[in-house]
Chain A
Amino acid sequence: MTVLVIAEHDNSVLKGATLNTVAAAAKLDSEVHVLVAGKGVDAVATAAAAVAGVAKVLVADSDALANDLAENVAEQVLQVAGAYSHILFPATASGKNTAPRVAAKLDVAQISEITAVVDADTFERPIYAGNAIATVKSADAKKVITVRTTAFDAVAATGGTATVESVAAVADSGLSAFVSREVVKSARPELTAASVIVSGGRGLGSAENFKILDGVADKLGAAVGASRAAVDAGYAPNDLQVGQTGKVVAPQLYIAVGISGAIQHLAGMKDSKVIVAINKDAEAPIFGVADYGLVADLFTAVPELEKAL
């Protein structure tokens, strides 16, 4: 039994989500290999080889894999899939895009967003926006799995001594083509990797007011997040959205400002270690999950908080 982890990267940097996925793979008590599929990925392969617990790194390097097109990456995974009992992807936008394609071609079910490994065939995963946890057992010979990264502590990025092996890269499918990418530039830590998150909701009232969170975020070295209401209202870009349909986070400290706490939002943050809610409505559901609640007008409380830090 050998486990394959599909690395998350941007062709130059190995993303942290890979380390959480390797941690989930390690729970299967078997050899862990990592596939790095991309273009000009030498640095990524070197980083993957240094990850604790990884025995081998497979590298597929070609133009066809440069832009993470699901058609090509899935073919690449299928080409090496034969040797593996489990194929794990991080449950990121990229992993979720490709994994089901691989599963369908292998004619196996995919197990989405696992939060725990019970044994080699049995896994826990949240359903109904995190309102229930299902324990599922797979009858398939091969398991294709996506891993909820916040549910597994990252393995060390160093200390590993994996061998790096180059594998033949697939040809371009010709079905889809990359046109452009707009990445939001931010000096703040990445939302899913941040240890502190300050999140704003509809209560902020405008995109201008949303900036009130920046001061607190700067003082705490925190990432800024948003509820769906804030994103839909145009107060914040959509990649900041925390929730069932956005990002799932589990920081040490989550400060929810002007967020009522709809179940879809709670699904994305209720595994945070400490939750603080600042809201003027004392009946808001967010207070049901908050460790510390402050019933106050955020426009006075947030500047006060910034000053007090």
Chain B
Amino acid sequence: MKVLVPVKRVVDYNVKVRVKSDNTDVDIANVKMSMNPFDEIAVEEATRLKEKGVATEIVAVSCGVSQCQEQIRSAMAIGADRGVLVETNAQLQPLAVAKLLKAVADKEAPQLIILGKQAIDDDANQTGQMLAALLGWPQATFASEVVVEGDRVKVTREIDGGLETLSLKLPAIITTDLRLNEPRYATLPKIMQAKKKPLETLTPEALGVDVSPRLSVLKVTEPAARQAGIKVPDVATLVDKLKNEAKVI
């Protein structure tokens, strides 16, 4: 089966972002960009499905500026066979991305689409579910285990209080949680090979998708800072402070 894996270019998870002084956005000029960590897990899972002989082809897709090619190449270095970039300089929100991905899915006809559960920049946790709704496919979000069984896929999901297992009819959408797998590091030979893999570029216009944002960001501010605390010398002082100063125990 063909597996589609959408990947997003985001600020590297180790970067502590700062809010711009004019409060219009966070300042991401000159910061390190990477593939969203949950998407790496998605690429890894697709690659493992291919190694098991379940998947035959993996297509990595990214939507955004031309530099998103770097993230598609990273996905290829892990195991994707080819890439599709939907290139636009527009500010993309999850609904627009879901519509772009639907158009790509209509073209590519994959049996499985694996996405990350959320991107670590907008923290929206929407795109996979929206894509499933637009395609009319079943979804299994926050997956920690995926087993393809004939024309169905069995997915164990992380829910509040434990785990649940669902069986979905293919084609289906899966979004990855952290414990699904440990993504491999791309080796140098794989990175070199990835440069030769095909990468197709499309545009929202060519796909007939209106990507205009529905939410406007009025301002972006720093979260309220916490008052600086104190260090206590021993447990007795700590308990005393909690009882008599903070009055929380």
Verify if A208 is at the interface (C-beta below 8 Å from B): no
Interface string of B27-49 (1 = CB under 8 A from A): 00000000000000000000000
**Do residues A127 and B122 form an inter-chain contact, with CB atoms below 8 A?**
yes
Known contacts A100-B130, A110-B94, A263 near B249 by CB under 8 Å: no
Count chain A CB atoms within 10 A of each CB in B95, B160, B167 and give the residue with the most: B160
**Do residues B164 and A178 form an inter-chain contact, with CB atoms below 8 A?**
yes
Count chain B CB atoms within 10 A of each CB in A184, A237, A276, A287 and give the residue with the most: A276
* A139 nearest CB neighbor, chain B only: B214
**Do residues B248 and A274 form an inter-chain contact, with CB atoms below 8 A?**
yes
The segment from B1-9, B70-78, B106-114, B132-140 found at the interface with A is: B132-140
Count chain B CB atoms within 10 A of each CB in A67, A69, A93 and give the residue with the most: A93
Expressed in whole angstroms, the Cα–Cα distance for A259 and B163 within the complex equals 25
Expressed in whole angstroms, the Cα–Cα distance for A15 and B21 within the complex equals 41
**Do residues B214 and A253 form an inter-chain contact, with CB atoms below 8 A?**
no
Residues of B within 8 A of A108 (CB): 95, 214
Count chain B CB atoms within 10 A of each CB in A94, A110, A129, A296 and give the residue with the most: A110
* A130 nearest CB neighbor, chain B only: B223
Q: Which of B117, B177, B231 contacts A294 (CB 8 A)?
A: B231
Q: Which of A103, A175, A228, A239 contacts B137 (CB 8 A)?
A: A175
* A179 nearest CB neighbor, chain B only: B165
Residues of B within 8 A of A184 (CB): 161-162
Query: How big is chain A's contact interface, by range?
Result: 35 or more
Verify if A111 is at the interface (C-beta below 8 Å from B): yes
**Do residues B249 and A253 form an inter-chain contact, with CB atoms below 8 A?**
yes
Residues of A within 8 A of B95 (CB): 103-104, 107-110
Verify if A245 is at the interface (C-beta below 8 Å from B): yes
Q: Within residues 130 to 148 of chain A, which ones have a CB less than 8 A from any CB in chain B?
A: 130-140
CB distance from A120 to the nearest CB of B (A): 14
**Do residues A110 and B216 form an inter-chain contact, with CB atoms below 8 A?**
no
Expressed in whole angstroms, the Cα–Cα distance for A280 and B23 within the complex equals 37
Q: Which of A190, A253, A294 contacts B248 (CB 8 A)?
A: A253
The segment from A32-40, A160-168, A300-308 found at the interface with B is: A300-308
Residues of B within 8 A of A174 (CB): 169
CB distance from B130 to the nearest CB of A (A): 4
**Do residues A101 and B159 form an inter-chain contact, with CB atoms below 8 A?**
no
**Do residues A294 and B169 form an inter-chain contact, with CB atoms below 8 A?**
no
Expressed in whole angstroms, the Cα–Cα distance for A128 and B27 within the complex equals 11
CB distance from B94 to the nearest CB of A (A): 7
**Do residues A104 and B133 form an inter-chain contact, with CB atoms below 8 A?**
yes
Known contacts A130-B223, A245-B178, A292 near B129 by CB under 8 Å: no
Residues of B within 8 A of A292 (CB): 229-232, 238, 241-242, 246
CB distance from B99 to the nearest CB of A (A): 9
Q: Within residues 122 to 161 of chain B, which ones have a CB less than 8 A from any CB in chain A?
A: 122-134, 137-142, 144, 154, 157-161
**A-B contacts, CB under 8 A, total:** 253
Verify if B22 is at the interface (C-beta below 8 Å from A): no
Residues of B within 8 A of A136 (CB): 215-218
Q: Which of B120, B129, B134 contacts A97 (CB 8 A)?
A: B129
Expressed in whole angstroms, the Cα–Cα distance for A94 and B161 within the complex equals 11
**Do residues B232 and A131 form an inter-chain contact, with CB atoms below 8 A?**
no
Expressed in whole angstroms, the Cα–Cα distance for A192 and B161 within the complex equals 11
Q: Within residues 245 to 278 of chain A, which ones have a CB less than 8 A from any CB in chain B?
A: 245, 247, 252-253, 263-264, 270, 273-276
Q: Within residues 212 to 249 of chain B, which ones have a CB less than 8 A from any CB in chain A?
A: 213-223, 226-227, 229-232, 234-236, 238-239, 241-242, 246, 248-249
**Do residues A70 and B159 form an inter-chain contact, with CB atoms below 8 A?**
no
Verify if B185 is at the interface (C-beta below 8 Å from A): no
7 tightest A-B contacts by CB?
Answer: A100-B129, A175-B138, A109-B214, A104-B130, A104-B133, A100-B126, A176-B138
Binding site for A on B (CB under 8 A): 11, 13, 16-17, 19, 26, 93-95, 98, 117-118, 120-134, 137-142, 144, 154, 157-169, 172, 177-179, 213-223, 226-227, 229-232, 234-236, 238-239, 241-242, 246, 248-249
**Please, could you name 26 A-B residue pairs with CB atoms under 8 Å apart, sorted by A?**
A70-B132, A74-B133, A93-B159, A100-B125, A101-B129, A104-B134, A109-B94, A109-B215, A132-B220, A133-B221, A135-B218, A135-B220, A137-B215, A137-B216, A140-B214, A175-B137, A176-B138, A176-B166, A181-B164, A183-B162, A239-B160, A270-B226, A274-B248, A291-B227, A294-B234, A308-B236
